[in-house]
Amino acid sequence: MKRVNHLLLGLCLLAPAAADAATAAPTATIDCRSAKAPTVDWDTFMNTCRARAAAERTQLGGAGAKALAAVANVFDSRTTIAGVNNGTVTWNNVPTWSDADIMAQFAATRDARYMTMSGDPRLRRLSWQYPDNGCFARAEQVNVQVTQAGKATPYKLFAFSKYQGLVAHTTNTDSGVIGWWYHVVPVVKNTAGQAIVLDAALSPCRPLFWRDWLALMANDLAFYDDVAGGNGVTLAAPTAYDPFSLVTGEPSHSTQSLNEQTGQFLPLEWQRQTDLGRDPNVVLLNSPPWSGYGCWLTTLAGGSANVAPGANTTVTATCPFGTLAVGGGFTGSTDFAISKNAMNGKAWQVTGRNNGSSTQTLFTQVSCLISPPTGASIASIQGNVVNVTANSNGTSTATCSSGTLVSGGFTTTLGSSPATVMRLYNNNRTTSTGNTWQVSAQNTTSASKSVTSFAYCLQGTSYTTNQASGTLTSGGFASTGCSSPPTQLIVGGGIAFPRTTNYTVWDASFIRQSGYLVQMAPAPANGDANAKGFAECLSHP
């Protein structure tokens, strides 16, 4: 995504003095709240808007003149990402909600229909599908709604770029992108103390960690550190409304924000959906894009570490807030001895020892289910610990007694002398639709070792899973995907090959969200129909 800077340059045409006197220059309209770049020079824009904001505060019943003079406005309080917690308002001021409350209030404020457009009595939501402008009114109305629901009022998080350099992807413009000079959202903290923003205009399926939200609008988070250039972020009190509001002590704009939604942004949203060839009677009323299975998606998170020769390292990939970890995988090299490939809470962990002579990188991935049903959870079931003596084999199994098996994992003993693991020749479900995960090992080392399987069971849903497979090619890889995308999601994978075949699995990972790739060495010259890679496919009713 490229950052786009729109510099508004005027062309000055010289004309005779008599013509100048006879023709008055048009006056540019200054909209101080618009997220679009100003149409006048920056100094004129700032001076005008500061003066208007001060006058408006007086009308709204703000603090006294001396108090007003002592408080900076939101734009002038910009700071770097690292400096957010050093301002007038800090993360300590931001209220903490339970994770369940964050998810519930995000959905409630996204979906609430309580406003009407002039001439149309049908109830409408906030203007989530008109991203061009109105973020300030949406954020204020979200705060009104959650406060009425009895929750502590969120604070406001502002992002800035002086020359409309904030650029995000959207399905609600004909170009597929939208640019702003600022954007604002409500922000709260979750039970882990992370700052979470509520922004259904950019992320209609889930709340976002604040840094992830900022990353949607810039190529690099360092972009926000150019405060001298007009970029930056500001954390402000709940009543801060726009860039010229006071960071603290701003009067409420609850009534004004409602009027701006109904009088300005709802009609613009209706026209935008019409212009995009959609039926606003559908997408703005009973069937918004996120309804039904509109948020039936997964996202991948990753982690990596450089592992020195002889070192043993655990790499972790963690799912973002509001998602559910459902499976994972790894990529290394034939020099790694992998002793763990398993889930750990909302994360996937891979432990590997580098038996090579140079530093190498070990990668891990976790697949995260977006917008899982309320009450959905993953139960991790540990199978039996199987001790496998030298030159023998054994199998550990783990079974989901409830829910549906979505993926599985393993741990095994890593010997120190020699620093090897057993050959794991099965890491998959026992049958294509079964609820048991199996891990089989052939102990080719000289010491007794153990292997333990894990089954990950999705509970609280009516979803089902099945296993798809692909065979090992002469290139040493087996790739596969689900038969009915996008109604099926790949949530995990596995491997299988004959016990007596000396393969090393060095890659078992997702190909984005479209497939699962397994790579084994040595590559068979003519392929191997008995060696397989598996994809675990999740389906909704």
Q: What's the pLDDT tens digit per position in 189-229?
A: 999 999 999 999 999 999 999 999 999 999 999 999 999 99
Q: How confident is the model at residue 456 (pLDDT cuts 50, 70, 90)?
A: very high
Q: What is the pTM of this model?
A: 0.89
Reading the block at residue 379, the tokens are 């139960």
Is-contact 540 485, C-beta < 8 A? no
- Cα 191 to Cα 102, 149, 188, 195, 370, distances in angstroms: 10, 19, 10, 10, 19
Per-residue pLDDT band for 12 (boundaries 50, 70, 90) equals very low
Distance CA 97, CA 105 (A): 10
Contacts of 295 (CB under 8 A, 6+ apart): 204, 205, 206, 370, 371
Compute the distance between CA of residue 249 and CA of residue 258 in angstroms, rounded to an integer: 20
Assess whether pLDDT exceeds 90 at residue 21.
Answer: no
Asked whether 375 and 424 are in contact (CB, 8 A), the reply is: no
Quote the pLDDT of residue 55.
Answer: 87
Residues 410, 398: Cα–Cα separation, whole Å:
10
Q: State mean pLDDT over 166-177.
A: 97
For a pLDDT cut of 90, what percent of the chain falls above it? 85
The model's pLDDT over 503-529, given as tens digits with 9 standing for 90+, comes to: 999 999 999 888 999 999 999 999 999
Whether the per-residue pLDDT at 15 is higher than 70: the answer is no
* 271 has pLDDT over 70: yes
Nearest Cα residue to 221 out of 178, 159, 284, 274: 159
Domains and CATH numbers, the chain: 42-286 (3.10.620.30), 298-539 (2.60.120.690)
What separation in angstroms does the CA of 318 have from each of 300, 302, 344, 380, 469? Answer: 9, 7, 9, 16, 27
Q: Which of 55-64, 77-86, 113-122 has the lowest mean pLDDT?
A: 55-64
Average pLDDT for 360-384: 96
What's the mean pLDDT when you consider all of the chain? 92
63 pLDDT more than 60: no
The least confident of 121-130, 399-408, 417-426 is 417-426
Where residue 446 falls among pLDDT bands split at 50, 70, 90? confident
Dist. CA 428–CA 407, nearest whole Å? 8
pLDDT band at 122; cut points 50, 70, 90: very high
